[in-house]
Structure 1
Amino acid sequence: MTGMGKMAVPIGVVSIVLMLVVPLPAPVLDLLLGLNITASLLILLVSMQIKRPLDFAVFPSLILVATLFRLALNVSSTRLVLTDGYAGKVIEAFGHFVIGGSLIVGLVIFVILTIIQFVVITNGAGRVAEVGARFTLDAMPGKQMAIDADLNAGLINEAQARKRRHEVTAEADFYGSMDGASKFVKGDAIAGIIVTLINLIGGFAIGVMQLGMAPGDAVNTYSLLTVGDGLVSQIPALLLSTATGIIVTRSATEGDMGSDLIAQLGRFKQPIRIAGGAAIALMLIPGLPKLPFLIVGGLFLFMASRITEVPPVDDEAEAAAAAAELEPKPDSPEAIAEKMRVDPLELEVAFDLVDLVDPSRGGDLLDRVKALRRKVAMETGLVIPLVRTRDNLDLAGSQYVIWLNGVPAAKGISPPGTILAIGDNLDGIPGKNTREPVFGLAAKWVPVELQRQAEMAGATVVDRSSVITTHLAEVVRQNAADLLGREDVRLLVEMVRRTHPVVVEELTPTLLTLGEVQRVLHALLEEGVSIRDLVRIFEALSVRAKTSTDLDGLVEAARSALGSAISHPYVTPDERLHVFTLEPGFEQRLLESVRQSDAGVVLALDAGAVDALVSGCSGLLEEAERAGLSPVLVCSPQVRAALARLMRQILPRLPVISYAEVSRTAQIETLGVVSGAVAIR
């Protein structure tokens, strides 16, 4: 069937074009006129059965083809009328039926049909299509943003978001096409009027001047054919115009037009009863016939008696009632268990910060938190759980608390009516001195009305929602490893399985259990390594796990596979990587002190060596941070794991990477060398 449609449609369109120049015999014209009327009726019925306009998305193109087909039939019938004075049985029968013995009556009826189509239906449908196209295009950005917000919030997946974006684009394209297609219908109505005038004038001239007919006979003959031809054309045009109006005025509902009409009118019993009573009351007017109004009024009253009025349904109230019924009782084990549940990530705000989370009051904190989940996922490869946000009346004014696995991880303030100005030259601006919560920079909470003054003083101005969101983002990054649960790992594995099934099948559960994979990913996140490239990580684990499942060995194998991607976050915009190195003799001493323990490889150093290492790294790091730099400590791969474990305890701000993980494209700039005695600049 599909193959036939692919061939039939192009052949049909080409045939329609040929009809404009190739004469058609009268029997063939009769067949095509019957097809035109039936096809137009079919289009009208289909337009009444659809639930939403996009269910009939081919309609704009169908209007063009149907209009072209009808005009081709007009040309063919005009050719037969003017050349033979006969255009087939269909046109002749319609002419006799409409004229009914009176030429004037026939012409008046034809003109009325044309006015109805052109002035009422076509113009109205064109205007609705134009407004619909404009409103749809204006609403398109908002719909796209709503889809992105649902995707960021985790309410829909990528496939659903892609489908909804396609529907939004298709809807805009449909209404834009309908706006243009309505012009075809309007032009068709104008063309029908012109063709009718040509048939009348041309037929009269041919009958009198060429065929020698009397003027009265010529008028009767050609008027009959013209009216018949025009009626045969106008009826399908009227059906198609009506279908166009129904399509563009159709709202997306759960049923077709007939079902919606009966269901929606049937909700209102009283108006139908009043309408029936009013029809019967009209019988009292002197001179009006009583039987018609009695029949109509009785019919309406009978309909009202048969209708069972359904009270309006409050969907929100029903949903709330259903939720209340399903909600466990306060003393039930389910309710107690629900309160015992610990959310991985929570944000509590004081009573005077509720405006930040209330959209009706302009608060956008919830939207920013949703966007944060996507940003963190792109940076770390970890899809953090939904952040539970709630108010806490026990908190001091302007305070917020970030909870991690049921434990307060960070606190801060965000006073209402203020903005945070970050800078050193703020003494002349009134406000409350503070520290920026993420980097500890000197800052001041200043009134909103002084924002311009703070900017002129060279300060970086941050609004209250951004302060909380940035603080939350930093807490998430620092504790990403603690947010990675077993269920999260399972979802990540399934995500890789969909695109690289062989990689997952080779790794788990054959070589490593899900728990062992979690330990490796946890260790990578703990060292600030993104686990976004899971395919390379899993491939490296598969190779390493065939010889050993030692955790440190697995982690180093994964780091080796990631390579320069590990140092890339520390590369500056001008492609520079600032590093500290170890003095070769001291590095050899560290390598000789590497020992295996239950906690993994460690450095068995004496107190003096540890002090030298710590003091050397601390001095260099403080000097680099004063210069606004973010350096890394580079060492050999054999000592990296043990050295990193030690540095995480005493100097967690300093990342430790191996020579194999240094970026191959960045320019290396050494800031100092750490020795067993003193740091060398």
Structure 2
Amino acid sequence: MDSLKLPAWLSGLDFLNSRTLTAPLLIVMILAMMVLPLPAFVLDIFFSFNIALAVIVLLTSFYTVKPLDFMVFPTVLLVSTMLRLSLNVASTRVVLTEGHTGPDAAGKVIEAFGHFLIGGNYAVGIVVFVILTIINFTVVTKGAGRIAEVGARFALDAMPGKQMAIDADLNAGLIAEQEARRRRTEVAQEAEFYGAMDGASKYVRGDAIAGIMVTIINIVGGLVVGMAQHDLDFSQALKLYTLLAIGDGLVAQIPSLIISTAAGIVVSRVASDKNIGDQLIGQLFAKPQVLIITACIIGGMGIIPGMPHFAFLFFAAVLGAGGYFLRKRTQLAAQEPEAAPAVVAPVESEEATWQDVLPVDTLGLEVGYRLIPMVDKAQGGELLKRIKGIRKKFAQDIGFLSPPVHIRDNLELKPTSYTISLKGVEMGAGEAFAGQYLAINPGMVSGTLEGRPTIDPAFGLPAVWIDANRRESAQAMGYTVVDAGTVVATHLNHLITTHAAELLGRHEVQQLLDYVAKDAPKLIEDLIPKLLPLPSFQKVLQNLLSEGVHIRDMRSIVETLSEHVIQTQDTNELTSLVRVALGRAIVQQLFPGTNELSVMSLDTHLERLLMQALQNGSPDGIGLEPGLADTILSQTELASRHQEQMGLTPVLVVPAALRLLLARFLRRSLPQLRVLSHAEVPESKTIKVTSLVGGQS
């Protein structure tokens, strides 16, 4: 028998079996309950569903690790509130039209709440209903709403600091672009979640007020309908309709109280990798001395005359036994078998050999003994993994693979200190405190922090070492907060990027050429070493790196050198020609995503003076008068500061003949300044001079 196939007009309706229809159907059902009359049996089903939904939401909030795991909660809050209100409308219609027939007129659920929970006494029911409403409205809902409001404000205030921390991790090579994008999305979602919870909490408060009003309307309306239309006396109508109204109100208020409790749990929990149950057991009952002292206090209360001795003494015994066994288990876990000291046989001193000559590490990282856990995999140290990420990102951004970083401990250093060395010479040092966080002030924070003041070792910004419990408040004030491992990794990344030219040795150049030769072997063979010696090629690459130009486009570099090496062998001239060929990449690196380049330029009179000095000077430098040199330096520094204040990259555009000489002259005093020649700017870019050196800015 052939298998049945859906008609063509039904083949496009596969979405009918999807979960996407759940929410629309639920909303339509809620709206229909407000308009269409429902029999008592259907009301029982919907009331049971409402209670089950509230319990599911409460348990989900218990097992949620972080608020964003239950991101749909504000919508659930709105839907559950609308469901309760629609049930109130539907049950009110049944109570007023069929209430005279008996207490089961509105269904078995309302009858059960009216008889079983309050014993059929409408006075007791009114008191219980009022108490539940007060608890829900003034305690749970108000507290959850306040927490959500403060959480939303703190989340918005902390967004800049968190975004800068993500950018710092990305620039240090600790995370990939995809992970950075995911973290940015999570930060934005967190702020939106608390903002939505702040608004959604108003639904529950309105629901509590509506519950009181609906109950009063049901009682008054029931009296009017029962006495005027069904000829019931006052006492009979009051008892019958009050029980129905109170039962209806309790059926709605109990799920509302459960949902409000779930909202309080979601917004009040502190970020952790454990759910509420694990946190309660792991933190509330973790200390045996607390249980033992509590047992003594409860036991003392139990022997006071007139107290319920059994209850107090029973809990005292349970707490005391729990504290005793927890203490024994802690002591057993702390005891470790001591290893017998190994007997070391005396070793005779040996003659010195070539093995005693230790080669100097190109890149070295030495740490004090308190920082050893950061570089020890066995102790959960993440710094080794981050250093691998730094080298990978360095290779992707700069264009060659840096030498490996050799890490060792140094007992001569301070316990919390570290040093970074290049070819055996220290080029950077700092302090890091494992388990603490460095809150860096980017210049726009809203408060001060208590902690250990310091300076960010990578960029020289003021910072404070703080404890982990102050991390969220620091981010809320606008600080960029990073852990100790990130501090060391960022410092290392900054230093190897700054000293990239020194890291490009003969060995790295040969490896780079071998790698490029795999795709273009003829291109390399025709240039090196036939036309250009390897040391000269290395010098050109180092010149580029020293001015912050990456060498990823090795094909363009080799082709440019092959074209001009016959006319000149001077590495400075070859570097200038290569820079012109890489002009688009250089400009894009300095001005990403814009066609208008806001730059500094030389005043015409100063430019003429420098050209004359160039003609009279040596090929490798300018013999500037001290007064003129000081003027150029001071005015360039002033113009650079003006550029930075406007949020622009300090870039000086000069004639090609002056570029190399000014770049060398200004590099030591203004390392952040980039000097371009007019020939390096692509024709598609527009130059806008915002500051003049040697004239009015």
| Structure-2-length-normalised TM-score | 0.57
AA at the equivalent of 1:507: D
Partner of residue 543 from structure 2, selected from 526, 529, 546: 526
Q: For residue 63 of structure 1, report the CA deviation from its aligned partner.
A: 0.9
Extract unaligned runs of 5+ from structure 1.
313-330, 348-372, 394-400, 411-471, 494-502, 583-610, 636-643, 668-681
Match of 1:117 in 2: 136
Instruction: Mark the CA change 1:134 to 1:521 in structure 2 (over 3 Å): closer, same or farther.
Output: farther
- What does 1:250-399 correspond to in 2, within 5 Å? 250-308=269-327, 341-342=360-361
- What does 1:631-646 correspond to in 2, within 5 Å? none
Deviation by residue 1:66-113 (Cα, 9 ceiling, x = unmatched): 111111111111111112222222212221212313222222222222
Give secondary structure in 1 for the equivalent of 2:189. helix
> Could you tell me whether the CA contact under 8 Å between 2:549 and 2:586 is conserved in 1?
no
Q: Distance in 2 between matches of 1:110 and 1:491?
A: 81
Larger Rg computed on CA atoms: 1
Q: For residue 212 of structure 1, report the CA deviation from its aligned partner.
A: 1.5
- What does 1:565-604 correspond to in 2, within 5 Å? 573=600
Instruction: Mark the CA change 1:98 to 1:563 in structure 2 (over 3 Å): closer, same or farther.
Output: closer
Q: Quick one: higher RCO (CA 8 Å, sep 6+), 1 or 2?
A: 2
Q: Distance in 2 between matches of 1:275 and 1:473?
A: 53
Instruction: Mark the CA change 1:657 to 1:241 in structure 2 (over 3 Å): closer, same or farther.
Output: closer
> Could you tell me whether the CA contact under 8 Å between 1:579 and 1:634 is conserved in 2?
no
Q: Distance in 2 between matches of 1:60 and 1:486?
A: 61
> Could you tell me whether the CA contact under 8 Å between 2:397 and 2:550 is conserved in 1?
no
Match of 2:248 in 1: 229
Q: For residue 402 of structure 1, report the CA deviation from its aligned partner.
A: 11
Match of 2:232 in 1: 213
- 1:204 paired with 2:215, answer no
> Could you tell me whether the CA contact under 8 Å between 1:40 and 1:239 is conserved in 2?
yes
Q: Distance in 2 between matches of 1:286 and 1:563?
A: 93
Q: Distance in 2 between matches of 1:574 and 1:509?
A: 42
> Could you tell me whether the CA contact under 8 Å between 1:512 and 1:545 is conserved in 2?
no
Deviation by residue 1:378-422 (Cα, 9 ceiling, x = unmatched): 99889999999x99x9xxxxxxx9986446999xxxxxxxxxxxx
- What does 1:617-628 correspond to in 2, within 5 Å? 628=632
Identical amino acids, percent of aligned pairs: 41
Instruction: Mark the CA change 1:556 to 1:21 in structure 2 (over 3 Å): closer, same or farther.
Output: same
Q: For residue 236 of structure 1, report the CA deviation from its aligned partner.
A: 0.7
> Could you tell me whether the CA contact under 8 Å between 1:272 and 1:304 is conserved in 2?
yes
Instruction: Mark the CA change 1:341 to 1:139 in structure 2 (over 3 Å): closer, same or farther.
Output: farther
Match of 1:65 in 2: 79
Match of 1:540 in 2: 556
Give secondary structure in 2 for the equivalent of 1:287. coil
Extract unaligned runs of 5+ from structure 2.
1-13, 100-104, 332-348, 367-390, 413-418, 429-491, 591-596, 637-651, 689-697
- What does 1:122-201 correspond to in 2, within 5 Å? 122-201=141-220
Give secondary structure in 2 for the equivalent of 1:20. helix
Q: For residue 26 of structure 1, report the CA deviation from its aligned partner.
A: 2.4
Q: Distance in 1 between matches of 2:316 and 2:681?
A: 90
Instruction: Mark the CA change 1:554 to 1:474 in structure 2 (over 3 Å): closer, same or farther.
Output: same
Q: Distance in 1 between matches of 2:313 and 2:678?
A: 99
Q: Distance in 2 between matches of 1:473 and 1:110?
A: 64
> Could you tell me whether the CA contact under 8 Å between 1:275 and 1:300 is conserved in 2?
yes
Instruction: Mark the CA change 1:304 to 1:377 in structure 2 (over 3 Å): closer, same or farther.
Output: closer
Q: Distance in 1 between matches of 2:555 and 2:77?
A: 56
Q: Distance in 2 between matches of 1:212 and 1:42?
A: 44
Q: Distance in 2 between matches of 1:151 and 1:256?
A: 30
> Could you tell me whether the CA contact under 8 Å between 1:507 and 1:542 is conserved in 2?
no
Instruction: Mark the CA change 1:147 to 1:479 in structure 2 (over 3 Å): closer, same or farther.
Output: closer
Q: For residue 37 of structure 1, report the CA deviation from its aligned partner.
A: 0.6
AA at the equivalent of 2:267: V
Instruction: Mark the CA change 1:250 to 1:340 in structure 2 (over 3 Å): closer, same or farther.
Output: farther
> Could you tell me whether the CA contact under 8 Å between 1:521 and 1:531 is conserved in 2?
no
Q: Distance in 2 between matches of 1:5 and 1:505?
A: 55
> Could you tell me whether the CA contact under 8 Å between 2:655 and 2:677 is conserved in 1?
no
Q: For residue 306 of structure 1, report the CA deviation from its aligned partner.
A: 3.3
> Could you tell me whether the CA contact under 8 Å between 1:579 and 1:633 is conserved in 2?
no
- 1:33 paired with 2:47, answer yes
> Could you tell me whether the CA contact under 8 Å between 1:345 and 1:387 is conserved in 2?
yes
Give secondary structure in 1 for the equivalent of 2:215. helix
Match of 1:77 in 2: 91
Q: Distance in 2 between matches of 1:125 and 1:214?
A: 45
Q: Distance in 1 between matches of 2:289 and 2:68?
A: 35
> Could you tell me whether the CA contact under 8 Å between 2:361 and 2:406 is conserved in 1?
no
Aligned Cα root-mean-square deviation (Å): 5.9
Aligned residues: 504
Deviation by residue 1:651-675 (Cα, 9 ceiling, x = unmatched): x99x9999975764679xxxxxxxx
AA at the equivalent of 1:91: I
Q: Distance in 1 between matches of 2:78 and 2:96?
A: 27
Match of 1:484 in 2: 504
> Could you tell me whether the CA contact under 8 Å between 1:110 and 1:231 is conserved in 2?
yes
AA at the equivalent of 2:185: H
Instruction: Mark the CA change 1:231 to 1:523 in structure 2 (over 3 Å): closer, same or farther.
Output: same
Match of 2:335 in 1: none
Match of 1:640 in 2: none
AA at the equivalent of 2:262: A
Give secondary structure in 2 for the equivalent of 1:573. strand
Q: Which moved more, 1:232-241 or 1:82-91?
A: 82-91
Deviation by residue 1:618-642 (Cα, 9 ceiling, x = unmatched): 679879969849855559xxxxxxx
Match of 2:437 in 1: none
Q: For residue 167 of structure 1, report the CA deviation from its aligned partner.
A: 2.8
Q: For residue 56 of structure 1, report the CA deviation from its aligned partner.
A: 1.3
AA at the equivalent of 1:526: N
Q: Distance in 1 between matches of 2:498 and 2:121?
A: 93
Q: For residue 574 of structure 1, report the CA deviation from its aligned partner.
A: 5.1
> Could you tell me whether the CA contact under 8 Å between 2:65 and 2:273 is conserved in 1?
yes
Q: For residue 256 of structure 1, report the CA deviation from its aligned partner.
A: 1.4
Q: Distance in 2 between matches of 1:574 and 1:48?
A: 63
Give secondary structure in 1 for the equivalent of 2:133. helix
Q: Distance in 2 between matches of 1:301 and 1:475?
A: 58
Match of 1:589 in 2: none
Q: Distance in 1 between matches of 2:312 and 2:93?
A: 49
> Could you tell me whether the CA contact under 8 Å between 1:110 and 1:230 is conserved in 2?
yes
Q: Distance in 2 between matches of 1:565 and 1:626?
A: 32
Q: For residue 191 of structure 1, report the CA deviation from its aligned partner.
A: 1.1
Q: Distance in 1 between matches of 2:493 and 2:266?
A: 49
Instruction: Mark the CA change 1:378 to 1:202 in structure 2 (over 3 Å): closer, same or farther.
Output: same
Q: For residue 252 of structure 1, report the CA deviation from its aligned partner.
A: 1.8
Deviation by residue 1:132-165 (Cα, 9 ceiling, x = unmatched): 2233333333333444444455544544444333
AA at the equivalent of 2:35: V
Q: For residue 40 of structure 1, report the CA deviation from its aligned partner.
A: 0.7
AA at the equivalent of 2:543: E
Give secondary structure in 2 for the equivalent of 1:507. coil
Match of 1:507 in 2: 519
Match of 1:101 in 2: 120
AA at the equivalent of 1:562: L
Instruction: Mark the CA change 1:216 to 1:505 in structure 2 (over 3 Å): closer, same or farther.
Output: farther
AA at the equivalent of 1:131: V
Instruction: Mark the CA change 1:90 to 1:659 in structure 2 (over 3 Å): closer, same or farther.
Output: closer
Q: For residue 125 of structure 1, report the CA deviation from its aligned partner.
A: 1.6
